[in-house]
Amino acid sequence: MHEVFLCRVAAHPILRKDLNFHVFLEYNQDLSVRGKNKKEKLEDFFKNMVKSADGVIVSGIKDVDDFFEHERTFLVEYHNRVKDASGKSDKMTRSHKSVADDCNRIGSSLYTLGTQDSTDMCKFFLKVSELFDKTRKIEARVSADEDLKLSDLLKYYLRESQAAKDLLYRRSRSLVDYENANKALDKARAKNKDVLQAETTQQVCCQKFEKISESAKQELVDFKTRRVAAFRKNLVELAELELKHAKVIKTHFDNLLNMLNG
C-alpha cells in the first residue's frame, strides 16, 4: 500500500513537484520525522470536530453545478458501502485465517496419533497429517492474499472516498464563502459602504471557487479512472491467486488420495 501511495503522489501533476516529496525520495539518511505530540493531536481532534459540524451545514446547500451534485451523492453512498464492504471483508479474511489455524492444530494432533499408534493406521495418519500441514500453509496464504487484494483495496478506497468527500467539502465551503461574499457585496453596494473591500473579498472567493472547482473536477475524474483500474488489477490478481492456490491444494489432496487408495 505504501507503494501505491508513493506512485500516486508521483503521478499527480502538481504534488509531484512538491519539495517535501523530493526530499522523501532522495535523502538517503534517516529522515527523523517528528511524530505529533499531545498538543498537536488535541488540535487535530478539535479541527475534526469543527470540520464535521461544518460539513453537515455545508452539505445542506444545493450545488449549482450538476456534475458536482451528482458526484456528491455518489460519493456519499459509495463511501458508506465501501466502509461496509471493507469491514465484512476484514471479518471474512480473519475467519479464513482461523480455519487455517485449526487445520494446523488438526495436523499436529494427527501427527501425534500417528506416532503413537501401533497398527497400520500410523502411516496413514502420518501422511494425512503431512497433507494437512501443507494445505494449512496454503490456506493461510490464501487468506493473506485475500487480505491483501481485497480487504486492502477496499480499505484504501474507503480512505480515498473519504478524501474525495473532503475535497468536495472544501469546495462547498469555498462556494458558501463565495456566496456569502456575494451577499456581503450586495449589502455593501446597497449601503454604499466598504464596497471596494467587499468586492476584493468577493473576487478572491470567486477565484478560489473557480480554481477549486476546476481542480476538483479533474481530481474526481481521475479518481474514477484510478478506482476502476485499481479494482480491475486487484480483482484479476485475486482471482488468479485463488485459482492457483485452489489448484495446488487440489493436487495435494489428489496425490494423497491416490496414495491411500492404491
Binding residues for other proteins, rule: CB under 8 A, are 74, 77-78, 81-82, 84-85, 88-89, 91-92, 94-96, 98-99, 102-103, 105-106, 109-110, 112-113, 116-121, 124, 128, 131, 224, 227-228, 231-232, 235-236, 238-240, 242-243, 246-247, 249-250, 253-254, 256-257, 260-261
Neighbouring CB atoms inside 10 A of 181's CB total: 21
Burial of 238 (0-12, 13-18, 19+ CB in 10 A): middle
Query: Cell numbers 456569502 correspond to what residue?
Result: 180
Closer residue to other proteins in complex, CB, 88/191 = 88
Name the residue nearer to other proteins (CB basis): 184 or 248: 248
| Cβ distance to other proteins smaller for residue 103 or 198 | 103
Phi, psi of 94 (to 5 degrees): -70, -45
In the complex, what is the shortest distance from the CB of residue 210 to other proteins, in angstroms, rounded to a whole number? 25
Distance between CA atoms of 182 and 164, rounded to whole angstroms? Answer: 27
- Sequential DSSP letters for 28-51: -S---PPPP-HHHHHHHHHHHHHH
User: Least CB distance from residue 42 to other proteins, whole Å?
Assistant: 35
| Least Å from the CB of residue 246 to other proteins | 4
**Minimum CB distance to other proteins smaller for 176 or for 256:** 256
In 114-225, the DSSP E strands lie at: none
> Under 8 Å CB-to-CB from 141, ≥6 apart: which residues?
245
Burial of 140 (0-12, 13-18, 19+ CB in 10 A): middle
Decide whether 189 or 247 has the Cβ nearer to other proteins.
247
Considering the complex, what minimum distance in angstroms separates the CB of residue 87 from other proteins? Answer: 8
Q: How far is the CB of 71 from other proteins (least distance, A)?
A: 10
Instruction: Compute the Cα dihedral for 63, 69, 73, 76 and give only its sign.
Output: negative
Category of 192 on φ-ψ map: left (φ > 0), alpha (ψ -120 to 50) or beta = left
The distance of closest approach from Cβ of residue 34 to other proteins in the complex, given in angstroms and rounded to an integer, is: 38
Minimum CB distance to other proteins smaller for 57 or for 246: 246
